Amino acid sequence: MKMPQEVYIVEVGPRDGLQNIEQFLETEKKVQLIKLLAQSGLRRIEATSFVHPKAIPQFRDAKEIISGILGLKDVQFSALVPNLVGAKNALESGVKELAFVFSISESHNKNNVNRTREESVQELEKILSLKKENPDMKVRVSLSTVFGCPFEGKVKEEEILRYIGRVKDLGATTITLSDTVGYGNPKQVRQIIKSCLNQFPSITFGVHFHNTRGLGLANALVCLEEGIMIFDSSIGGLGGCPFAPGATGNISTEDLVFMLDEMGIRTGVNIELLFEASRFLQNNLKDIPLSSHLFKAGPPKGWSYVCTTL
């Protein structure tokens, strides 16, 4: 067991959580949510998505969101970008870290970003070339449908490794492996993670699980055991992919932090403060039940809120 002593949580609620919610959450509320998340100790927050407003109207205020949170200290914000235009807009707004997304399966990539995978790789190359004028920009590549595709089913490991290789050759060093629709199981996840770590020791891998079929935390546990230190999760367990039928929420930040705290692994997050963000979200999205188990059940008797600053 190479279990890490601390992990970095990437809070994706403001992006993945909100992106398929029809109700438009007002800009100032999105900003307030991000502030509450930051106050809880979350240091990496995917704040929004620079996509075409027709594709995802929820993020038509991406620029204003970023402008509302630029003053927050100690927090590393990222924004999802599906293409060069989005990347430029994000950088202009003041975002330093771009999360470029494309899918390991061709059909999901076409559905999600309207491009072939090859076109996405070329787009990534153009985005990475923006570093010349933006020396402090970072790019995290978020690979979707790594553990299964809603259109194609299982994905071949050689395809996963091939596209990681392509991305690495372009100079990317941080890659998130995503179970976009909750198809992964612990055995498969362990196998794929092992292969990725073995074949690409220079890459920093993160993981992104949805809890669609209930296996999200079991899959995260396996990654922990393999030494992964970066985990995406979403406040309240909100989330899903608007172009992936049947996709439901991300693993919830509350449940993930609880599991890690109880296992003695530091996250820097204070669950009592995190619940303030959960309550704020629930109060402002009344029709959408949050799926965080911990938020619904509350912490165990005699449980002390652990918070060790990272």
What is the size of the binding site for a copy of itself (CB under 8 A)? 44
Interface residue with a copy of itself among 161, 203, 296, 306 (CB under 8 A) is 296
Q: How far apart are CA 260 and CA 228, in angstroms?
A: 13
Q: How far apart are CA 95 and CA 87, in angstroms?
A: 9
Q: How far apart are CA 293 and CA 299, in angstroms?
A: 10
292 forms part of the interface with a copy of itself (CB under 8 A)? yes
Q: How far apart are CA 127 and CA 85, in angstroms?
A: 9
Nearer to a copy of itself, 286 or 301 (CB): 301
75 near 38, Cβ under 8 Å?
yes
C-alpha distances (whole Å) from 144 to each of 43, 97, 179 are 23, 18, 7
241 in catalytic set: yes
Contacts of 158 (CB under 8 A, 6+ apart): none
154 forms part of the interface with a copy of itself (CB under 8 A)? yes
With contacts defined by CB under 8 A, name the span among 39-47, 91-99, 134-142, 299-307 that binds a copy of itself: 299-307
With contacts defined by CB under 8 A, name the span among 48-56, 93-101, 159-167, 177-185 that binds a copy of itself: 177-185
Nearer to a copy of itself, 37 or 155 (CB): 155
In the chain, what's the furthest Cα-to-Cα distance? 54
With contacts defined by CB under 8 A, name the span among 73-81, 93-101, 114-122, 181-189 that binds a copy of itself: 181-189
For the annotated catalytic residues, the residue numbers are 241
Residues forming contacts to a copy of itself in the complex (CB under 8 A) are 148-154, 181-183, 185-188, 211-215, 217-218, 220-222, 246, 248, 252, 255, 258-259, 262-264, 292-294, 296-303
